[in-house]
Chain A
Amino acid sequence: MLSALILIPFVSAAIIGLSPLPAKNSRNFAIIAAVSVLVINILIGFQFNFKLEGLQFAEDIPWIQWLGLNYHIGIDGLSFPLVLLNSLLTVIAMISTSPTIARQKLYYSMILLLSGGAAGAFLAQDLLLFFLFYELEIVPLYFLIAIWGGERRGYAAMKFLLYTAISGILVLASFLGLVWLTGETSFDYQAVRGHTLPLNSQLLLLAPLLIGIFIKIPIFPFHTWLPDAHVQASTPISVLLAGVLLKLGTYALLRFGVGLFLEGWVYLAPWLAILASISALYGASCAIAQKDMKKVVAYSSIAHMAYILLAATATTRLSMVAAVFQMVSHGLISAFLFLLVGMVYKKTGSRDVDYLRGLLNPERGLPVTGGLMILGVMASSGLPGMVGFISEFLVFRGSFPIFPIPTLLCLVGTGLTAVYFLLVVNKVFFGRLTEGLTQLPPVRWKEHAPAFVLLLLIVAFGLRPDWVTHWSEVQAVALLTGS
Chain B
Amino acid sequence: MVKTAIKRSKSALIDEYITRLEKGDALLQDSPQNLVEVVGILKSYGVVLDAYSINLCYIANTQFLKLFPLFKYFNGEVNPQKIAKFLWHDRINYEYAEYCMKTMFWHGGGGLDAYVDTPEFTNNVNQLIKAHFKYNPLMLTLHAAFKDFLPEQMRQMAYYSALGQFWRVMSDIFINLSDSYDRGQIKSIPDVVQFILNGLVADATRPITYTVKEGNQTYDILPKDANLTFLADTAVPYVEAVFFRGTPFTGTVSYNAQAYEISYDPGMFAYGALYADPLPVGGAGIPPTLLMQDMRHFLPDYLREVYRHQSLRGERDIRIQICQSFQKSMFCVTTAAIKGLAPHPFDTVDPQQQAANRKYLTGWLNRILESQITKINTN
Residues of A within 8 A of B (CB): 358, 361-364, 431-433, 438-442
Does A442 lie within 8 Å of B316, measured CB to CB? yes
Residues of A near B316 (CB, < 8 A) are 363, 442
Q: Give chain B nearest CB distance to A301 CB in angstroms.
A: 32
How many angstroms between the C-alpha atoms of A441 and B311 in the bound complex?
A: 9
Residues of A near B312 (CB, < 8 A) are 439-442
B320 is an interface residue with CB less than 8 A from chain A: yes
Known: A363-B313, A438-B279. 11 other contacts (CB 8 A): A361-B279, A362-B283, A363-B319, A432-B251, A432-B252, A432-B253, A432-B277, A432-B280, A441-B313, A442-B312, A442-B313
Residues of A near B28 (CB, < 8 A) are none
| Chain B CB within 10 A, most for which of A363, A364, A433, A438 | A363
How many angstroms between the C-alpha atoms of A318 and B203 in the bound complex?
A: 83
Which partner residue on chain B sits nearest A431 by CB separation? Answer: B253
Q: Give chain B nearest CB distance to A436 CB in angstroms.
A: 12
**19 pairs, CB–CB < 8 Å, chain A vs chain B:** A358-B279, A363-B279, A363-B281, A363-B282, A363-B316, A363-B317, A363-B319, A364-B279, A364-B313, A364-B317, A431-B251, A432-B251, A432-B252, A432-B280, A433-B279, A439-B311, A439-B312, A441-B312, A442-B312
Residues of B near A362 (CB, < 8 A) are 282-283
Q: Give chain A nearest CB distance to B376 CB in angstroms.
A: 13
Q: Give chain B nearest CB distance to A437 CB in angstroms.
A: 10
How many angstroms between the C-alpha atoms of A358 and B283 in the bound complex?
A: 11
Residues of A near B282 (CB, < 8 A) are 361-363
10 A-B pairs with least C-beta separation: A363-B317, A362-B282, A363-B282, A442-B313, A441-B312, A363-B320, A433-B279, A439-B312, A364-B317, A432-B251
Which chain B residues in 10-38 approach chain A with CB under 8 Å? Answer: none
How many angstroms between the C-alpha atoms of A432 and B281 in the bound complex?
A: 11
How many angstroms between the C-alpha atoms of A363 and B280 in the bound complex?
A: 8
Q: Give chain B nearest CB distance to A427 CB in angstroms.
A: 14
Count how many chain B residues have C-beta atoms less than 8 Å from C-beta atoms of the other chain: 16
Q: Give chain B nearest CB distance to A53 CB in angstroms.
A: 56
Q: Give chain B nearest CB distance to A288 CB in angstroms.
A: 24
Residues of B near A440 (CB, < 8 A) are 312
Q: Give chain B nearest CB distance to A363 CB in angstroms.
A: 4
Residues of A near B313 (CB, < 8 A) are 363-364, 441-442
Interface string of B228-261 (1 = CB under 8 A from A): 0000000000000000000000011100000000
Residues of A near B317 (CB, < 8 A) are 363-364
How many angstroms between the C-alpha atoms of A439 and B281 in the bound complex?
A: 15
How many angstroms between the C-alpha atoms of A439 and B320 in the bound complex?
A: 11
Which chain B residues in 257-291 approach chain A with CB under 8 Å? Answer: 277, 279-283
Does B280 lie within 8 Å of A361, measured CB to CB? yes
Q: Give chain A nearest CB distance to B271 CB in angstroms.
A: 14
Interface string of B313-341 (1 = CB under 8 A from A): 10011011000000000000000000000
Q: Give chain B nearest CB distance to A442 CB in angstroms.
A: 5
Q: Give chain A nearest CB distance to B325 CB in angstroms.
A: 14
Which partner residue on chain A sits nearest B319 by CB separation? Answer: A363
Residues of A near B311 (CB, < 8 A) are 439
How many angstroms between the C-alpha atoms of A389 and B319 in the bound complex?
A: 40
Report the tally of A-B residue pairs with Cβ distances under 8 A: 38
How many angstroms between the C-alpha atoms of A266 and B283 in the bound complex?
A: 56
Which partner residue on chain A sits nearest B284 by CB separation? Answer: A362
Which chain B residues in 73-87 approach chain A with CB under 8 Å? Answer: none
How many angstroms between the C-alpha atoms of A362 and B319 in the bound complex?
A: 11
Residues of B near A363 (CB, < 8 A) are 279, 281-282, 313, 316-317, 319-320
Residues of A near B252 (CB, < 8 A) are 432
Which partner residue on chain B sits nearest A347 by CB separation? Answer: B312
How many angstroms between the C-alpha atoms of A442 and B315 in the bound complex?
A: 11
How many angstroms between the C-alpha atoms of A440 and B316 in the bound complex?
A: 12
Q: Give chain B nearest CB distance to A21 CB in angstroms.
A: 35
How many angstroms between the C-alpha atoms of A359 and B161 in the bound complex?
A: 41
Residues of A near B251 (CB, < 8 A) are 431-432
Q: Give chain B nearest CB distance to A178 CB in angstroms.
A: 60
Which partner residue on chain A sits nearest B320 by CB separation? Answer: A363
How many angstroms between the C-alpha atoms of A431 and B316 in the bound complex?
A: 21
| Chain B CB within 10 A, most for which of A362, A431, A433, A442 | A362
Q: Give chain A nearest CB distance to B292 CB in angstroms.
A: 10
Q: Give chain A nearest CB distance to B277 CB in angstroms.
A: 7
How many angstroms between the C-alpha atoms of A431 and B277 in the bound complex?
A: 12
Residues of A near B319 (CB, < 8 A) are 363
Residues of A near B253 (CB, < 8 A) are 431-432
Q: Give chain B nearest CB distance to A358 CB in angstroms.
A: 8
How many angstroms between the C-alpha atoms of A440 and B283 in the bound complex?
A: 18
How many angstroms between the C-alpha atoms of A483 and B280 in the bound complex?
A: 62
Which partner residue on chain B sits nearest A440 by CB separation? Answer: B312
Which partner residue on chain A sits nearest B375 by CB separation? Answer: A435
How many angstroms between the C-alpha atoms of A438 and B312 in the bound complex?
A: 10
Residues of B near A431 (CB, < 8 A) are 251, 253
How many angstroms between the C-alpha atoms of A241 and B334 in the bound complex?
A: 58
Does A364 lie within 8 Å of B277, measured CB to CB? no
Does B279 lie within 8 Å of A432, measured CB to CB? yes
Residues of A near B281 (CB, < 8 A) are 363
How many angstroms between the C-alpha atoms of A273 and B319 in the bound complex?
A: 56
Residues of A near B279 (CB, < 8 A) are 358, 361, 363-364, 432-433, 438
Residues of B near A442 (CB, < 8 A) are 312-313, 316
Q: Give chain A nearest CB distance to B328 CB in angstroms.
A: 16
How many angstroms between the C-alpha atoms of A362 and B316 in the bound complex?
A: 10
Q: Give chain B nearest CB distance to A281 CB in angstroms.
A: 34
How many angstroms between the C-alpha atoms of A276 and B311 in the bound complex?
A: 50
Residues of A near B320 (CB, < 8 A) are 363-364
Q: Give chain A nearest CB distance to B289 CB in angstroms.
A: 10
How many angstroms between the C-alpha atoms of A89 and B342 in the bound complex?
A: 69
How many angstroms between the C-alpha atoms of A442 and B317 in the bound complex?
A: 10
Q: Give chain A nearest CB distance to B122 CB in angstroms.
A: 45
Q: Give chain B nearest CB distance to A122 CB in angstroms.
A: 43
How many angstroms between the C-alpha atoms of A431 and B280 in the bound complex?
A: 9
How many angstroms between the C-alpha atoms of A433 and B319 in the bound complex?
A: 16
Residues of B near A361 (CB, < 8 A) are 279-280, 282-283
Q: Give chain A nearest CB distance to B139 CB in angstroms.
A: 45
How many angstroms between the C-alpha atoms of A363 and B278 in the bound complex?
A: 11
Q: Give chain B nearest CB distance to A97 CB in angstroms.
A: 22
Q: Give chain B nearest CB distance to A62 CB in angstroms.
A: 61
Residues of B near A432 (CB, < 8 A) are 251-253, 277, 279-280
Q: Give chain B nearest CB distance to A129 CB in angstroms.
A: 51
Residues of B near A441 (CB, < 8 A) are 312-313
How many angstroms between the C-alpha atoms of A10 and B192 in the bound complex?
A: 70
Q: Give chain A nearest CB distance to B323 CB in angstroms.
A: 10
Residues of B near A438 (CB, < 8 A) are 279
How many angstroms between the C-alpha atoms of A361 and B284 in the bound complex?
A: 11
How many angstroms between the C-alpha atoms of A432 and B280 in the bound complex?
A: 7
How many angstroms between the C-alpha atoms of A431 and B319 in the bound complex?
A: 19
Q: Give chain B nearest CB distance to A54 CB in angstroms.
A: 56
How many angstroms between the C-alpha atoms of A349 and B28 in the bound complex?
A: 32
Which partner residue on chain B sits nearest A442 by CB separation? Answer: B313
How many angstroms between the C-alpha atoms of A431 and B252 in the bound complex?
A: 7
How many angstroms between the C-alpha atoms of A432 and B251 in the bound complex?
A: 7
Q: Give chain B nearest CB distance to A275 CB in angstroms.
A: 44
Which partner residue on chain A sits nearest B318 by CB separation? Answer: A363
Which partner residue on chain B sits nearest A438 by CB separation? Answer: B279
How many angstroms between the C-alpha atoms of A360 and B313 in the bound complex?
A: 15
Q: Give chain A nearest CB distance to B307 CB in angstroms.
A: 12
Q: Give chain B nearest CB distance to A222 CB in angstroms.
A: 44
Q: Give chain B nearest CB distance to A141 CB in angstroms.
A: 35
Which partner residue on chain B sits nearest A434 by CB separation? Answer: B279
